[in-house]
Amino acid sequence: MRSVRAKASLGATLVVAVALVAAGLSVLLLLRNHLTGAADLQAEVTARETASRFALGRAPDLSDGDDRPVQIVAENGCLIAASEGLEKISGTGSPKVTKEPCARDDGRGEDPDEDRPDEDGANGEDDRSDEDGVNGADDEPEPGQVSAERPVFTGGSATVQGDTASYRFAAVEATDDEGVTATVYAGAPLATEEGAVATVRDAMLIGLPPLLLIVGSVTWLVTRRALAPVEGIRREMAAITASADLSRRVPEPGSRDEVARLARTTNETLAALEASEERQRRFVADASHELRSPIASLRTQLEVGAAHPELLDVPGAVEDTVRLQQLAADLLLLARLDAGERPGLARVDLGALVREETSQRTASGAAGDRAAVTVETADAGLDVDGSRSQLARVLGNLLDNAQRHAEAEVTASVRRDGRYVVLAVADDGEGVPEAERERIFERFVRLDDARSRDEGGAGLGLAIARDVAERHGGSLTVGRAATGGALFELRLPAAAAD
């Protein structure tokens, strides 16, 4: 069962079936208890009425043809009376249905010889005491009275005039004015209870399957309607996969439910994939273009040198080779960053890094005729966590960019700003127009005044710097310096204290 609709329909049907069965059993139990209680009340009324007549010494009328069986049983099990037409009975004190002669003493359940004088001529005072209720059982009724205790109810069956049925019997004790104690058993038929319970049970059994069928069908239809947009999304995604056209979008339903949110999220994912594919395509095209120029130049020089060795421009070939090496290194670093490479967790002192980089540039003369770099502030102890080589690459790219555009001065500083360490590089050039301040961080982007091959790079330095900053949990922004040029600020989280 792989269909969500089938699973939902089956689950809903099972839940409803369990609930209905539990509710039906509860209803049947309550109905049975209620009707059984009503039968107990009827049996008790009949038993007490018969017991009252017996206690008053009046012969109970058991020949009225009522369908309620009645027995009067003495303490010793002798059947004093039984209703007319009673042929068989069970569940009472005696299975007898035919009246039998019972002596008075037998009716009391005593030995007849106990009332006779003993060998010493005594009369047995204990027996008189029992009759007076002194030594007898406390729960037996007084002569001429009916026991006030709650009757004992039992279940059984009886055959009256050839009809056998189930009954509830109530047992009530009574003692007549002569001291004879007997138990009156009166039954109330359970035919009404059994009929009502059977009717309700049959109705439930007949109505349950159609109801479950309706529940399953409605659940199937509702689920099908609810999942129809999902099927539309699936079909469109299958078509997009087959066509490889990421510009297509899945239909978004007008509802505000989970399916609509799924469609919006899917379209956002498709848009991100399309943008990523476009960036990748542009990246490959730009990389190919940037690689083609130095490779073509190097090939031309080598071909000329092979034909005319005296015309070989060795410095130019070396310069083109260095450009290729730097471009290959930049592309490799970008590929690693795009692959999600995490930076190291080394402790890096940004102040020391700035001082080392500027001193190396000054000692090696790497700046050439460019503006010199001045370190304003670079206090020790301004540490961050990350990769020293990648952060050094960011600093070198920022300094190269500043020296390329500065008129005469480039300044670098490192300061603490709350939870962050800020590395700032400023120049006194023309600055970056506000409309171009985000575009310069895109790959292979160079402004018009930096297009020359000898002055400008491949347009990857600032893109690499921002990617490295973001991988380190920081940011790289550009603004306007106090001298009027560009101000680049690298903001990184400060390292936690040991």
Task: Tell me if 282 is assigned to some domain.
Answer: yes
Task: Name the nearest CA neighbour of 470 among 493, 453, 487, 447.
Answer: 493
DSSP state of 257: S
Confidence at residue 314, expressed as pLDDT on a 0 to 100 scale: 79
Confidence at residue 488, expressed as pLDDT on a 0 to 100 scale: 94
**Residue 383 vs residue 57, higher pLDDT:** 383
Phi, psi torsion values for 414, nearest 5 degrees: -130, 130
Task: Tell me if 262 is assigned to some domain.
Answer: yes
Share of the chain above pLDDT 90, in %: 11
Query: Would you place residue 1 in the very low, low, confident or very high pLDDT band (cuts 50, 70, 90)?
Result: low
The CATH number linked to 276 is 1.10.287.130
Q: Residue 362's Cα: distance from chain center in Å?
A: 64
367 and 483 fall within a common domain: yes
Query: Could you tell me the two tokens for 148?
Result: 């006030």
Region of residue 337 (left: phi > 0; alpha: psi -120 to 50; beta: else): alpha
Q: Residue 185's Cα: distance from chain center in Å?
A: 61
Q: Residue 403: which residues within 8 A CB-CB, separation 6 or more?
A: 367, 370, 371, 373, 410, 427
Task: Tell me if 459 is assigned to some domain.
Answer: yes
**Residue 317 vs residue 370, higher pLDDT:** 317
102 and 132 fall within a common domain: yes
Which of 99-108, 152-161, 344-353, 461-470 is predicted with the least confidence, judged by mean pLDDT? 99-108
Indicate if the pLDDT at residue 316 is higher than 80.
no
Taking all residues of the chain, what is their mean pLDDT, rounded to a whole number? 80
H-run or E-run covering 298 = helix 258-307
182: containing domain:
55-189
266 and 127 fall within a common domain: no
Confidence at residue 111, expressed as pLDDT on a 0 to 100 scale: 43
Confidence at residue 364, expressed as pLDDT on a 0 to 100 scale: 61
Beta strand 181-189 pairing with 372-378: unpaired
**Domain end call among 322, 341, 360:** 341
Indicate if the pLDDT at residue 386 is higher than 80.
yes
Q: Find the mean pLDDT for residues 229-244.
A: 87
Most confident stretch, 1-5, 99-103, 261-265: 261-265
Q: Where would I find the beta strands (DSSP E) of 362-453? A: 372-378, 383-386, 409-417, 420-427
The CATH number linked to 483 is 3.30.565.10
Which of 86-100, 116-130, 286-300, 308-322 is predicted with the least confidence, judged by mean pLDDT? 116-130
Share of the chain above pLDDT 70, in %: 85
Confidence at residue 134, expressed as pLDDT on a 0 to 100 scale: 36
367 and 328 fall within a common domain: no
Indicate if the pLDDT at residue 400 is higher than 80.
yes
Task: Tell me if 353 is assigned to some domain.
Answer: yes
Q: Find the mean pLDDT for residues 124-147.
A: 51
Indicate if the pLDDT at residue 368 is higher than 70.
no
DSSP-derived 3-state class of residue 48: helix
Most confident stretch, 3-7, 39-43, 114-118: 39-43
60 and 152 fall within a common domain: yes
| End-to-end C-alpha distance for the chain, whole angstroms | 58
Indicate if the pLDDT at residue 104 is higher than 90.
no
Query: Could you tell me the two tokens for 15?
Result: 């839940």
Task: Tell me if 206 is assigned to some domain.
Answer: no
469 and 457 fall within a common domain: yes
356 and 333 fall within a common domain: no
Q: Residue 5's Cα: distance from chain center in Å?
A: 20
Indicate if the pLDDT at residue 11 is higher than 90.
no
**Domain end call among 189, 206, 236:** 189
Q: Find the mean pLDDT for residues 96-115.
A: 57
120 and 252 fall within a common domain: no
Indicate if the pLDDT at residue 478 is higher than 90.
yes
Task: Tell me if 498 is assigned to some domain.
Answer: no
380 and 477 fall within a common domain: yes
Alpha helices (H) in 154-190, listed in sequence order: none
Confidence at residue 181, expressed as pLDDT on a 0 to 100 scale: 87
DSSP-derived 3-state class of residue 250: coil
Q: Find the mean pLDDT for residues 331-338.
A: 79
Beta strand 145-146 pairing with 70-74: unpaired
Confidence at residue 498, expressed as pLDDT on a 0 to 100 scale: 62
Which of 131-135, 356-360, 393-397, 488-492 is predicted with the least confidence, judged by mean pLDDT? 131-135
Query: Could you tell me the two tokens for 355?
Result: 């001082």
477 and 349 fall within a common domain: yes
Q: pTM for this structure? A: 0.51
Task: Tell me if 68 is assigned to some domain.
Answer: yes
Rg (C-alpha) for the chain, rounded Å, is: 54
Q: Count the domains in the chain.
A: 3
Q: What pLDDT digit, counting tens, does each position of 255-285 carry?
A: 788 888 888 999 999 998 888 888 778 777 7
Alpha helices (H) in 1-103, listed in sequence order: 4-55
Alpha helices (H) in 379-441, listed in sequence order: 388-405
Indicate if the pLDDT at residue 65 is higher than 70.
no
85 and 177 fall within a common domain: yes
Phi, psi torsion values for 425, nearest 5 degrees: -125, 120
Query: Would you place residue 365 in the very low, low, confident or very high pLDDT band (cuts 50, 70, 90)?
Result: low
Query: Would you place residue 185 in the very low, low, confident or very high pLDDT band (cuts 50, 70, 90)?
Result: very high
325 and 367 fall within a common domain: no
Confidence at residue 425, expressed as pLDDT on a 0 to 100 scale: 92
**Domain end call among 341, 361, 389:** 341
Which of 6-20, 95-109, 198-212 is predicted with the least confidence, judged by mean pLDDT? 95-109
Task: Tell me if 30 is assigned to some domain.
Answer: no
Distance (Å, rounded) from C-alpha 413 to C-alpha 417?
12
Confidence at residue 491, expressed as pLDDT on a 0 to 100 scale: 94
Q: What pLDDT digit, counting tens, does each position of 441-465 carry?
A: 887 777 654 444 444 566 788 888 8
Q: Find the mean pLDDT for residues 391-403.
A: 89
For the chain, the maximum distance between any two Cα atoms, rounded to a whole number of angstroms, is 169
Confidence at residue 448, expressed as pLDDT on a 0 to 100 scale: 53
Confidence at residue 450, expressed as pLDDT on a 0 to 100 scale: 45
Indicate if the pLDDT at residue 107 is higher than 60.
no
